[in-house]
């Protein structure tokens, strides 16, 4: 079953790059008591993700904050080292929390996984965005296969 607006996010633990190396971070740490703009990509360093999706959120950080968003988080079924390198390559710094869902546990729990095997990518996340308030999904935008419209930063900003 796919998560929908009004549902509470499942408990999950991601990996993120900390000053002393990889560290776990839970959904409670990320979402409890906060409004978070969450977006997911099929893969770090992939064309649309690197040219449009992540850069769009980076470009609009101040606008998200002005609209009451406490944090912006990017999740991908990649390992923490790839997510750290991609964040560094994109220059996101502390503005966007780069979350590695290495085994795809969070993605599967949301019902938003996709099979990228025909591209040699295995299990990945569908492309989506969500406004999450205190752990509850208030808005969910899932892209149709191969598209990049409703999960963009611009689209999400218009929803806030």
**Looking at the annotation, which residues are catalytic?**
49
Q: How far is CA 152 from CA 38, 43, 55, 71, in A?
A: 11, 15, 10, 16
How far is residue 92's CA from residue 54's CA, in Å, rounded to a whole number? 9
């Amino acid at each position: 079953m796919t998560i929908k607006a009004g549902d509470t996010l499942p408990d999950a633990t991601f990996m993120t790059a900390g000053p002393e190396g990889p560290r776990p971070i839970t959904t409670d740490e990320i979402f409890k008591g906060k409004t978070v703009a969450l977006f997911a990509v099929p893969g770090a360093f992939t064309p649309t993700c690197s040219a449009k999706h992540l850069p769009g959120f980076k470009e609009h950080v101040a606008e998200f904050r002005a609209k009451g968003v406490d944090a912006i988080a990017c999740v991908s079924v990649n390992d923490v080292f790839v997510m750290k390198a991609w964040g560094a390559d994109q220059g996101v710094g502390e503005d966007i929390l780069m979350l590695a869902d290495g085994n795809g546990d969070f993605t599967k729990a949301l019902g938003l996984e996709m099979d990228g095997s025909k591209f040699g990518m295995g299990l990945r996340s569908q492309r989506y965005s969500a406004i999450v308030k205190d752990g509850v999904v208030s808005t969910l935008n899932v892209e149709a296969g191969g598209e990049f419209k409703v999960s963009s930063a611009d689209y999400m900003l218009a929803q806030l």
